[in-house]
Amino acid sequence: MTAVPEIGVLALQGDVREHVLALEEAGARTLAVRRPEELERVDALVIPGGESTTMWKLARAFDLLDPLRKRIEAGMPAYGSCAGMIMLADRIQDGMEGQETIGGIDMTVRRNAFGRQVDSFESDVRLDGMDDDAPYHAVFIRAPWVERVGDDVRVLGRAETGTNAGRIVAVRQGRLMATAFHPELTGDHRVHHYFADLVRRAMEQED
């Protein structure tokens, strides 16, 4: 039988409910994660969008930052959208003084790269490795982009329109993946299916 993963959604801030619904549609069980003991119960984690500096401070306040780093280092699959992409980056630009990340993906992410809230936009993005070749209609809200990636990072998608066409907006490194956009805000759940399948493969490898 195909394993049913239990995927946590970091519930400190952001579109938690929307990610939960998309993950359940992708065949996963879900758990809202706010405490270290809840983190230990899940097979993988989604880090939603929100405000990356607030998320970092709340993770510190809830004693989650170090446990998150340890689970990532131990091989737990994780997916971050928008602010979640920033949280999974090893390096950030234009961050608040002293801002910390969980890290794990060998990339440099520029915070608010596409502009402020008023500069939010939608655009088609072609995502490598998804179920079909149809472009993904992506929603960008105060979105970051990836400035640079390491040799082990696979670029899954780039912005295709506007003055910032070509900017990296989706990446994967092993069991970690991130997007600059918000797939939970669309009816297209290919990104969540892709991540759920990644988690199932990781579980099979550990059996």
> CA–CA separation, 162 vs 160, rounded Å?
7
Q: Are 69 and 48 in contact (CB under 8 A)?
A: no
Using alpha carbons, select from 22, 21, 49, 48 the residue that is nearest to residue 141. 49
Grouping H, G, I as helix, E, B as strand and the rest as coil, residue 98 is: coil
Query: Tokens 């199932």 belong to which residue?
Result: 200
Q: Are 5 and 28 in contact (CB under 8 A)?
A: yes
CA torsion, ordered 2, 9, 22, 16, to nearest 10 deg: 170
Query: In this structure, what token pair is assigned to residue 11?
Result: 């519930």
Grouping H, G, I as helix, E, B as strand and the rest as coil, residue 108 is: strand
Using alpha carbons, select from 63, 141, 55, 58 the residue that is nearest to residue 95. 55
Catalytic (active-site) positions: 82, 182, 184
